[in-house]
Amino acid sequence: MTWDGRHDLGYKHKCDCGRSYKQLHTLRRHKKYECGTVPAFRCPFCGSMHKHRFDMNKHIKNAYLAKSTLRRHLKLECGKNPTHECRICGLFFKHKHRLVSHLKSWHLPEDSKNALPFE
């Protein structure tokens, strides 16, 4: 999920962009390397941009190292816009299971997290 300020976790160390953190050093890292910065690391395979080298490496590992994963990525994801929309906050996801996970994490009360009507 891409952070867009719609989900404030309520931690005490807050950035002007809306994100909040448990620890001050994490807020400082966010301000120095992430907040308002342009992603600097480009995937050599698909051109997607990442703010951290480790995020790009994780993307490459997950999307390209296995042939079946690469085929799935090229067929379903590469260059395509997400199609599964959260009706509550408007975020989009490329995979339905990511939307379901998002709904359980952000929008459902604890006692109803195992009973999504469209699963």
Element (H, E) at 50: strand 49-50
Q: Let me know whether 34 and 18 are in one domain.
A: yes
Domain range enclosing 50? 41-80
DSSP-assigned letter for residue 37: P
Mean pLDDT over the full length of the chain: 80
Inside any domain, residue 94 = yes
For residues 53 and 20, give the distance between their C-alpha atoms in angstroms, rounded to a whole number: 23
CA angle 48, 54, 55 (to 5 degrees): 40
Whole-angstrom distance, CA of residue 101 vs CA of residue 105? 6
Q: How many domains does the chain have?
A: 3
| Least-confidence region, from 7-16, 36-45, 88-97 | 7-16
The answer as to whether 1 is a domain residue is no
pLDDT tens digit string along 52-109?
888 899 888 888 777 777 777 777 777 888 889 999 889 888 888 889 988 888 887 7
The pTM of the full predicted model, rounded to 2 decimals, is: 0.45
CA distance 99 to 91: 9
